[in-house]
Structures are given as structure tokens and as C-alpha cells.
Chains A and B, each alone.
Chain A
Amino acid sequence: QQQVKQSPQSLIVQKGGISIINCAYENTAFDYFPWYQQFPGKGPALLIAIRPDVSEKKEGRFTISFNKSAKQFSLHIMDSQPGDSATYFCAASNRGGSARQLTFGSGTQLTVLP
């Protein structure tokens, strides 16, 4: 099963608040879990990524929490800012043969109110 399920579909947060986006997967062969940020009319930009051998990774205001047994991972954006307003995609990949292909979630549209 290659699907990655993402929630919520949309999220509204006040400036300074915490934004939390969740993803779940079925394929236990996945071994790389990136998050991408996409602004309207632009391509996805890599935000942060994690491997299943760690439970948490933090980069600035962005943190990934990973629960291998539950097959779930989430993105936390601390001190959310209006400039964070964008669509966020979780993704997962495994090495199939000599190729890596990303399987994306359906996206979360984040709006941070000033």
C-alpha cells in the first residue's frame, strides 16, 4: 500500500500559535519522510525530513515527530507567522530498485492570521 494520508485538509492558526499537521502511512518499507512547503504558483520546497531511526528532528521553528510503531509522523510549526501561510505536504519514499520515488499526502492549507 503506497498511500500517505494527511490531515487536516486546512488549518487556521493565530500568529504565534502552534500549527500541527499529521500524516499516516501503511507501507513499512518507507524509510525517508520529508515535508514540503508550497506557495501558490511555485514548486514544493523541502522544509525538513526524518528517517525512522529517530523519533524527533528539529530545525528552527519546525519539528518532525515520528512514531514508527503507529506509522505516523507529524509536523509542528512553533511560533507560526503569517509568512508560513502555504500548503504543506508530507511525503514518504523507499528505495525501489535503484530509484526513489516520493509518495505525497493530499496537502494541508495553512493560514496564519496576523
Chain B
Amino acid sequence: DAGVTQSPTHLIKTRGQHVTLRCSPISGHKSVSWYQQVLGQGPQFIFQYYEKEERGRGNFPDRFSARQFPNYSSELNVNALLLGDSALYLCASSLSGSTDTQYFGPGTRLTVL
């Protein structure tokens, strides 16, 4: 079975630009969470979506937004990119929003120049 997939693998943007990252959860999983991992640190929670609704939000500015589609895939959007947004963006999949176990994808490495 395929695990969590994310695209693209790597991305380079300049300050002020917009970026869209994509995630497909494990088949049968209905919840997707997004995390930001800055180099040398643990992942930080950004959003959780379940059944196309936002169920949780971390301490990130409004420049960060996300959505979930009927097939349970998800997009993370970041507007007005800053240098500090450079990080590995991780998507995690779980059966439901309240399920303990989250399985992570390989991540998208975003570099903002």
C-alpha cells in the first residue's frame, strides 16, 4: 500500500511569492495534518483537517491556509513568503481527526530566497 505522498519534493521561491504544497493521505485515512520542520528542530503543528473541515490550527500567521478535498487529499498554501518560511513541510495522515496515530510523508523542502 502507498504511504503518504507529497509533492513537490523540493521547491525554491523568492520572498513575497506564493506557494502551494500537496498531500495525499494513506488510502482509507480521512484526516490530514500539516507540520513545519525548521532545520534542527522538531516539527511544529500548523493545521489539521478532517472531512474537509479545519479541526485544529497551530500558532501560525494567516498567510498560512489549507484545504481538504472530497478525496481527502489536501493543499497547504503560504502567501507572501518570508525567508523564515524556509523549512521541511510535512503532511501526516490519520484515520480520523481524533485518531492517535499519525503517519508522516517524506515532506516538501521549501527554500525561500
Contacts and interface: CB of A to CB of B under 8 A. Distances in A.
Interface of A: 6, 32, 34, 36, 41-46, 49, 89, 91, 93, 95-107
In the complex, which of the residues B35, B48, B102 has the most CB atoms of chain A within 10 Å of its own CB atom? B102
A42 B99 CA distance: 23
B55 A44 contact: no
Contacts, number: 71
Interface in B62-113: 90, 92, 94, 97-107
A34 B42 CA distance: 13
Contacts of A97: 55-56
Contacts of B26: none
A98 to B, nearest CB: 5
A42 B42 contact: no
A50 to B, nearest CB: 11
Given A89-B42, A106-B41, A106-B42, A101 B105 contact: no
Nearest to B35: A102
A98 B50 contact: yes
A99 B42 contact: no
Nearest to B40: A107
A99 B41 contact: no
Contacts of B105: 43
